[in-house]
A and B are shown apart, each in its own frame.
Chain A
Amino acid sequence: MGELILANEATGEEMTLNMGPQHPSTHGVIRFIIKTDGEIMREAVPDVGYLHRAIEHIAEKCTYEGFMPYTDRVDYVCAMPANHAWALAVEKLAGLEVPERAEYLRVITDELNRISSHCIALGAMAMDVGAITPFTYILREREYVNELLEMICGARLTYNYHRIGGVGWDMPAGWRDKVLAWCDHFAPVMDEFDRLITNNALFVQRLAKLAVIAADEAIDYGLVGPNLRAAGVDFDVRRDVPYSIYPKLKFEVPVGRGLVGTVGDAWDRYWVRAQEWRQSVSMVRQCLAQIDATAPEFWKAPKKLKPVGDAMARVEAARGDMSCYVVGDGGTNAYRARFRTGSFNAMGIIRDKSRGLMVADLVALIASLDVVAPEIDR
């Protein structure tokens, strides 16, 4: 990094700005070194690692079951799918079975968490572009989801809910009705949000045609999730590499269509997330309707967990295809655990996309890719 800064031209025309690890954005501690002439950027180089907590190293020191709380911190904004990825990988490695009720509960909590994560993503995007009120509205809604998840597992952010072999607790009494009541409540909120910001002329003007990522570029850089779908690639892990009980659910996968600009621009990345909300609500309803037909067992805890071999599990987290690769050598701890997250790949594209953008657009670009620091650094 030293040579990048020192090689700065001394003509006085170009300056190197530091968008430091602390900045008033909800994307976390990420640093950008921006070379600009004051208006247009020559490039913005990301410098990550400020939130590196050695989670993968810790996996080697913890038992498979004991590592579950650490997986929350892989992406604390959307922690349930990370839990799910670890549980799925270890269950594949050890060949464990999961009761059906647990699968339903996993999917319900995954989708609720996806909604709350998109709340942050879309609200922060609106706020980074200047509209502060939609963010406060959406945080109000996210509070409800946090409370629902607190009722089921006791925590609002880092849940530690899934277990190897099932989930930690069953639904409390009355929880289903509360979730359904909240789903009914949330539907007009999504419409209000759309009216307020999605089609707002200023918002569209800021985001349309910004940092267009074409489909082949997105695949090449390894973008996943809503970023990939906004570029026009119709792929969703839940539908195409199905896991858990997703094959029993009916849902659509929104793909970017370039409604107000070009396919794959920042507005499309926003719009795909705004459509995914609705699908998640529908999935939650379906699960709650189907869960009654399952047996009451929700956790088949393994007696002895010392698997050998390796296994890869992919889940669709809110930020895309999160894959967990675990290697076991017969001990109680994992020999190697690796989490590959959507935000890590998204950071890789920022340097190339930032060339020629204005400084204000960089903020919009980062927000549209929905990167969060914990996923990048782990």
Chain B
Amino acid sequence: MSDEVARDANVEANSDAAVSRVRADEWRATAERLRADGFDFLQNLTAVDWIKEERIELVYHLWSYARRQERVVKIDLPRGEPTVASVADVWRAANWYEREQYDLLGVRFAGHPDLRRILMPEDWPGHPMRKDYVEAPSYNGMPTTRANTLELLPIWDKPTWDKK
């Protein structure tokens, strides 16, 4: 277990100082330990796509109501195969968070009871918030782009803007 995780809880509330980096295979054990330590509110889960560095970074923000204390855990996952253990049974709030990050960025959470898309339709191809995402030209026969409205008005003169 990394040293940073073992840092003591004498950290002020509201400070971002308690940031830990955890390896993906250690996350499950760390999560259970943090939960037992009193971090009962999984406040936020973000996945950030660092495409140039070939990694996807998961950022977990945890909060302890009893101690009024925040803790941030960051996990790096390889961009080609971003998989990490699910903590949906440690914090039930994680159930929907993990579905959303799977939907938008393609992070797979192993052990999630119901990992399916939540915001996009079930048969949507691709993960929209990836930096290299290109939208398919049509979805189920419906085109995904529209012509520029201004180009569609042949009866009007195209607006000319004064170039200053």
What residues make up the interface of A, taking CB atoms closer than 8 Å to B?
A: 1-2, 48-49, 52, 54, 56-57, 216, 219-222, 233, 235, 240-241, 310-312, 314, 321, 323, 325, 327, 335-336, 338, 340, 344-345, 347-348, 377
Contact = CB atoms under 8 A, between A and B. Distances in A.
Nearest to B35: A220
Contacts, number: 77
Contacts of B128: 54, 57
A348 B67 CA distance: 25
Chain B, interface size category, equals 20 to 34
Given A221-B92, A348-B95, 7 more contacts: A1-B116, A241-B68, A312-B61, A336-B48, A348-B93, A348-B96, A377-B119
Contacts of B16: 311-312
21 contacts: A2-B122, A48-B118, A48-B119, A49-B117, A49-B118, A49-B119, A49-B120, A52-B119, A52-B120, A220-B40, A221-B92, A235-B65, A240-B13, A312-B61, A325-B46, A327-B48, A336-B48, A338-B46, A340-B97, A347-B96, A348-B96
B65 A219 contact: yes
Q: Is the interface of A mostly helix, strand, loop or mixed?
A: mixed
Interface of B: 13-14, 16, 40-46, 48-49, 59, 61, 65, 68, 72, 91-93, 95-97, 100, 104, 116-122, 128-129
Given A311-B16, A323-B61, A348 B92 contact: yes
A312 B16 CA distance: 8
Contact of A222 (B13, B42, B46, B104): B42
Contacts of B13: 240-241
Of B14, B45, B96, B97, most buried by chain A (CB within 10 Å of CB) is B96
A340 B59 contact: no
A340 B129 contact: no
Contacts of A52: 119-120
Contact of B129 (A56, A221, A233, A325): A56
Contacts of A314: 43
Contacts of B49: 336
Contact of B93 (A222, A336, A377): A222
Contacts of A54: 128
Of B46, B92, B120, most buried by chain A (CB within 10 Å of CB) is B46
A240 B68 contact: yes
Contacts of A312: 16, 44, 61, 72
A310 B119 contact: no
Contact of A345 (B14, B61, B93, B119): B93
A35 B157 CA distance: 56
Contacts of B14: 241
Contacts of A1: 116, 122
Nearest to A378: B119
Contact of B44 (A221, A240, A323, A336): A323
Nearest to A242: B14
A48 B51 CA distance: 28
A220 B119 contact: no
Of A52, A57, A347, most buried by chain B (CB within 10 Å of CB) is A52
A321 B43 contact: yes
A336 B46 contact: yes
Given A56-B129, A312-B44, A220 B96 contact: no
Contact of A233 (B46, B61, B65): B65
Contacts of A338: 44, 46
B119 to A, nearest CB: 4
Contacts of B97: 340
Nearest to B44: A340
A267 B75 CA distance: 41
A220 B129 contact: no
Contacts of B41: 219, 222
A324 B48 CA distance: 14
B96 A345 contact: yes
A327 B44 CA distance: 14
Contacts of A56: 104, 129
B9 to A, nearest CB: 16
A221 B95 CA distance: 9
A338 B128 CA distance: 14
* Cβ-closest 7 pairs across A and B: A222-B93, A49-B119, A338-B46, A348-B96, A340-B44, A52-B119, A336-B48
Contact of B61 (A49, A325, A327): A325
A57 B16 CA distance: 25
A287 B45 CA distance: 34
Nearest to A312: B61
Given A233-B65, A336-B46, A340-B43, A220 B93 contact: yes
A241 B65 CA distance: 11
